[in-house]
Amino acid sequence: MAKQPMLKFVTVSRDMPTKRAAEERSHDFAEIYADYAAAKAAEQAARCSQCGVPYCQSHCPLHNNIPDWLNLTATNRLEEAYQVSQSTNTFPEICGRICPQDRLCEGNCVIEQAGHGTVTIGAVEKYITDTAWEQGWVKPIAPPVERDQSVGIIGAGPGGLAAADMLRRAGVQVTVYDRNDRAGGLMTYGIPGFKLEKEVVMRRIDQLEQSGVEFVMNCAVGEDLSFDAIRGKHDAVLIATGVYKSRDLGGPGSGAQGIVKAIDYLTASNRVANFGDRVAEFESGELNASGKRVVVIGGGDTAMDCLRTAIRQGALSVKCLYRRDRANMPGSQREVANAEEEGVDFVWLSAPVAFSGDPVSGVTVQKMRLGAPDVSGRQAPEVIEGSGYVEDADLVIKALGFEPEDLPLLWGYDGLEVTRWGTIRAEYGSGKTNLDGVYAVGDIVRGASLVVWAIRDGRDSAEAILGYLDGTAAIAAQ
């Protein structure tokens, strides 16, 4: 009888790929985890208990067939593992790197619940598809038949690209419009290289180009090209424009020089560190933390990315101000731990109330305590009177989250229905908007969310668009 390859969690401990030492990694923008060697990936995949009710799968937004590809990896059937993995996920190697697995698949792994330590699902997913790239198993899409219908996609982030991939597979002609010079959305210019190296994103863009997807870059819809023109040109349109309006911070002195938005800071860093672009605001020092005392305001993942970027740029000191405590912060605990290892100082229960100097030289901070839970069940922060003090700062980065831009206003198109939060009103599961043949996906529908959810939306919406195109083709043929 064949030896049981799985259920090794009893004898084999959880082992992530090696993390580079903080002193080494905090000077560069390369990813912090090394790759699994083949034997290690097989060993870790074999820890899966192949339980009858895989909660990892139900808590993965893409419902990836995780137990199946773990089994195939454990038995060295990697090409099949890749085929299974890519059948539900357009960019498995990207999700393997940047999904908050502790809140999704791995956090719900049955052996984790039983106290054995989760299977390292994300790291194995990354390993499978990185290997597929190395081995040449990832190929440009060659649709069996070409259709003469076309879809215009506005936004080249994960939502738009996942839909582009699915539509091309069905032979649809796809044009992606984006106001940036490079595709990838926040995967390219938001998320830093130490979490997601840019070659990983760019090879996917190349693959889509080789598959026949047309990219029209440096094209801001609403400015360079009207929404109406795109609707007139294509049989259906998908809006995947993300959310880019930074939440702001008031208070005396908040307009001073040296107080900057997280997205501007991260975009400049990504351009310079990962693409070698020349960015005037970086060269002038405005968006460069080198030699500065940096204060980042916010407790989410964007704040963590800013803090860790400032460390790598050679800041004198890097502090994070957050008005709640560690247990109540929205950012991933894994990222907080990484930031602490790299030298970030977290100042919990602290809220900025004013800024001194222009250029900025200090932040007046008010200490907080957590009061009674509010209607959402979260403890509301309350001011501790008389506790104010000044935190020295030469660069203050506001990382308080993002909201949608006013698309109907920007596009001069008030027929497109939005919610009271400014997100596009779209049908759950299809992304259908109130306009005929117009769909929407990703952050512009959900509000700031995750790459894996944008992929899920893009794939679902592509299915719905194919149904719509079939319907319009049938009517035209009558």
**Positions that interact with ligand FAD (CB under 6 A):** 98-99, 154-160, 177-180, 185-187, 190-191, 195, 220-222, 240-242, 266, 301-302, 305, 442-444, 449-452, 454
Residue number with CB closer to ligand FAD (72 or 451):
451
Q: Helix, strand or coil for residue 339?
A: helix
> Could you tell me the sign of the dihedral formed by the alpha carbons of 440, 441, 446, 448, in that order?
negative
Residue 380 phi/psi, 5° resolution? -80, 135
Measured CA to CA, the distance from residue 48 to residue 73 in angstroms comes to 11
Instruction: Say whether residue 99 binds ligand SF4 (CB under 6 A).
Output: yes
Which residues in 310-369 contact ligand SF4 (CB under 6 A)? none
Determine the interface stretch with ligand SF4 among 92-100, 220-228, 236-244, 462-470 (rule: CB under 6 A): 92-100
Among 89, 118, 267, 302, binds ligand SF4 (CB under 6 A): 89
Residue number with CB closer to ligand SF4 (119 or 397):
119
Q: Helix, strand or coil for residue 376?
A: coil
CB-count burial class (<10 Å; 0-12, 13-18, 19+) for 406: exposed
Q: Which residues contact 436 (CB under 8 A, 6 or more apart)?
A: none
> Could you tell me the sign of the dihedral formed by the alpha carbons of 61, 30, 316, 257, in that order?
negative
Give the number of other Cβ atoms within 10 Å of residue 437's Cβ.
18
Task: Name which of ligand SF4, ligand FAD, none residue 193 binds, using a CB cut-off of 5 to 8 Å depending on partner kind.
Answer: none
- Angle of helix 66-74 relative to helix 38-45, nearest 10 degrees, comes to 130
Residue number with CB closer to ligand FAD (54 or 160):
160
Instruction: Say whether residue 121 binds ligand SF4 (CB under 6 A).
Output: yes
Q: In whole angstroms, how far apart are CA 250 and each of 18, 398, 400?
A: 43, 11, 12
Measured CA to CA, the distance from residue 62 to residue 59 in angstroms comes to 8
Closest CA to 460 of 167, 105, 214: 167
Q: Is the peptide bond before 140 cis (omega within 30 degrees of 0)?
A: no
Residue number with CB closer to ligand FAD (111 or 418):
418
- Give kind and range of the element (H or E) at residue 204: helix 198-210
Task: Name which of ligand SF4, ligand FAD, none residue 305 binds, using a CB cut-off of 5 to 8 Å depending on partner kind.
Answer: ligand FAD
Q: Helix, strand or coil for residue 477?
A: helix
Among 74, 84, 95, 151, binds ligand SF4 (CB under 6 A): 95
Residue number with CB closer to ligand SF4 (104 or 259):
104
Instruction: Kindly write out the interface string for residues 241-260 of this chain, putting x where it contacts ligand SF4 by CB under 6 A and - elsewhere.
Output: --------------------
Place of tokens 């008031």: 250
Instruction: Say whether residue 81 binds ligand SF4 (CB under 6 A).
Output: no
Q: Which residues contact 118 (CB under 8 A, 6 or more apart)?
A: 14, 101, 106, 107, 109, 111, 112
For 326, which DSSP code?
A: G
User: Under a CB-based contact definition with an 8 Å cutoff, are residues 170 and 143 in contact?
Assistant: yes
Instruction: Say whether residue 464 binds ligand SF4 (CB under 6 A).
Output: no
Place of tokens 């909201």: 403
Instruction: Say whether residue 101 binds ligand SF4 (CB under 6 A).
Output: yes
Task: Name which of ligand SF4, ligand FAD, none residue 90 binds, using a CB cut-off of 5 to 8 Å depending on partner kind.
Answer: none
**Least Å distance between CB 57 and ligand SF4?**
8
Q: What are the DSSP E strand ranges found in 224-335?
A: 236-239, 245-246, 259-261, 293-297, 317-321
**Least Å distance between CB 314 and ligand SF4?**
32
Give the number of other Cβ atoms within 10 Å of residue 383's Cβ.
15
Determine the interface stretch with ligand SF4 among 117-125, 128-136, 294-302, 353-361 (rule: CB under 6 A): 117-125
**Least Å distance between CB 107 and ligand FAD?**
14
Instruction: Say whether residue 122 binds ligand SF4 (CB under 6 A).
Output: yes
**Least Å distance between CB 457 and ligand FAD?**
8
Q: Which residues contact 255 (CB under 8 A, 6 or more apart)?
A: none
**Least Å distance between CB 60 and ligand FAD?**
12
Task: Name which of ligand FAD, ligand SF4, none residue 125 binds, using a CB cut-off of 5 to 8 Å depending on partner kind.
Answer: ligand SF4
Task: Name which of ligand FAD, ligand SF4, none residue 64 binds, using a CB cut-off of 5 to 8 Å depending on partner kind.
Answer: ligand SF4
Give the number of other Cβ atoms within 10 Å of residue 190's Cβ.
22
Residue number with CB closer to ligand FAD (110 or 462):
462
**Least Å distance between CB 27 and ligand SF4?**
28
Determine the interface stretch with ligand SF4 among 95-103, 110-118, 262-270, 339-347 (rule: CB under 6 A): 95-103
Task: Name which of ligand SF4, ligand FAD, none residue 451 binds, using a CB cut-off of 5 to 8 Å depending on partner kind.
Answer: ligand FAD
Instruction: Say whether residue 62 binds ligand SF4 (CB under 6 A).
Output: yes
**Binding interface with ligand SF4 (CB under 6 A):** 60, 62, 64, 66, 89, 95-96, 99, 101, 104-105, 121-122, 125, 452
